[in-house]
Amino acid sequence: MKNFLVIGNPIEHSLSPKLHNYWIKINNLNAIYNKKKLEISELEILIKDVRERKIHGINVTVPFKNNIIPFLDKLSSEAEKTQSVNTIYLKDDIVVGHNTDIEGFELAIKNIKYDVSGKKVLLLGAGGVSPSIILALSKMRANKILISNRTQSKAENLKKTFKEIEIVEWGAIPNFDMIINATSLGLKDNENINIDYSKVGSGKLFYDVIYNPSETKFLKSAKKTGNKGENGKKMFIYQAQASFKIWNSLEPTIDEKVMELVN
Ligand code: ATR
């Protein structure tokens, strides 16, 4: 039997086991996918289990996507560029770290038939997921990527890797075609991002990486003012699908049941 795992801290709320175990079942695979809360000191020993084939694949979530890197043998080019790993596998006795968040975001945007090419994108947040989103936006040929973060030094750090981005002050909302919330603001009910929606105009895309709650205040306000809103649910499902495909060499389907599982 193959063992898969998602690690993080906290991890109770992760929906990855639900999703992966559903795909394992419908594909009649002899495998199980569990979640494990870890401390940073336990990462090294965990990777040993991958090397010894006790664990066949790991998904990594907050706060270990970067901290796990020193224990891996090799990074994919995507993981290297973003310094972020969410998928681990063994290939020819080498423990590889990859990042499927980039593909997850790209496929989610393509799924709603939004064409990023030539667009001006405002990215809010410079935390763990932001490098993956920037890389995806660049691949999709965004015309301009503006980044705004409460702690500006973090945005400046990102600019060292992604020279194409431009930094704007936190609180300033310049003109844009697409705005992305990659901060954690909105996870809690009473949280809001300070945007004057009356000045934004209409026909823009508001994308929130958050999918629980399914409609943050950011998305609600966007829709009320004649803009399109999309949450992070499809990104989450597509990143999981990409990991599953790497580990099991088959592409699991995304059907109504899958969409319902992530609620
Ligand atoms: P990490 O910073 O550890 O990678 P994250 O959850 O990936 O954590 O990122 C949190 C993001 O939400 C950051 O961009 C953070 O801004 P700071 O870099 O200034 O901390 C942003 N964020 C969280 N709470 C916020 C708040 N109250 N106001 C504005 N931004 C906030």
pTM score, whole prediction = 0.96
Write out the chain in H/E/C secondary structure.
CEEEEEEECCCCCCCHHHHHHHHHHHCCCCEEEEEEECCHHHHHHHHHHHHCCCCCEEEECCCCCCCCHHHCCEECHHHHHHCCCCEEEEECCEEEEECCHHHHHHHHHHHCCCCCCCCEEEEECCCCCHHHHHHHHHHCCCCEEEEECCCHHHHHHHHHHCCCEEECCCCCCCCCCEEEECCCCCCCCCCCCCCCHHHCCCCCEEEECCCCCCCCHHHHHHHHCCCEEECCHHHHHHHHHHHHHHHHCCCCCCCHHHHHHCC
Q: Is the CB of 29 under 6 A from ligand 1?
A: no
Per-residue pLDDT of the chain (263 residues; tens, 9 = 90+): 999 999 999 999 999 999 999 999 999 999 999 999 999 999 999 999 999 999 999 999 999 999 999 999 999 999 999 999 999 999 999 999 999 999 999 999 999 999 999 999 999 999 999 999 999 999 999 999 999 999 999 999 999 999 999 999 999 999 999 999 999 999 998 888 999 898 999 999 999 999 999 999 999 999 999 999 999 999 999 999 999 999 999 999 999 999 999 98
The reported pLDDT for the residue numbered 219 is 96
Question: If you classify domain 102-231 with CATH, what class do you get?
Answer: alpha beta
What pLDDT is attached to residue 13? 92
Q: Are 131 and 160 a contacting pair, CB within 8 Å?
A: no
125 ligand 1 Cβ < 6 A: yes
Q: Which of 9, 156, 183, 217 to mutate to test the pocket of ligand 1 (most atoms within 8 A of CB)?
A: 183
Give the Cα separation of 85 and 107 in Å (integer): 18
**Does CATH place domain 2-99+236-261 in 3.30.450.20?**
no
Catalytic residue numbers, as ranges: 65
Assess whether the region 2-99+236-261 and the region 102-231 belong to the same CATH fold.
yes
For the CA of 125, the closest atom of ligand 1 is: 14
Closest C-alpha to 162, from 123, 200, 197? 123
For the CA of 126, the closest atom of ligand 1 is 14
Strand order in the sheet with 228-230: 165-167, 144-148, 120-124, 178-181, 205-208, 228-230
210 Cα–ligand 1 center, Å: 13
Question: Hey, what amino acid is at 163?
Answer: K
Sheet-wide strand order for 31-37: 31-37, 2-8, 57-60, 87-91, 94-98, 74-75
Give me the pLDDT at residue 86, please: 98
Listed by start position, the domains of the chain span 2-99+236-261, 102-231
Choose which residue among 149, 152, 157, 168 to substitute to test ligand 1 binding: the one with the highest number of ligand atoms within 8 A of its C-beta. Answer: 149
- 152: tokens are 């500006």
Determine if ligand 1 sits within 6 Å of the CB of residue 154: yes
The verdict on the CB of residue 191 being under 6 Å from ligand 1 is: no
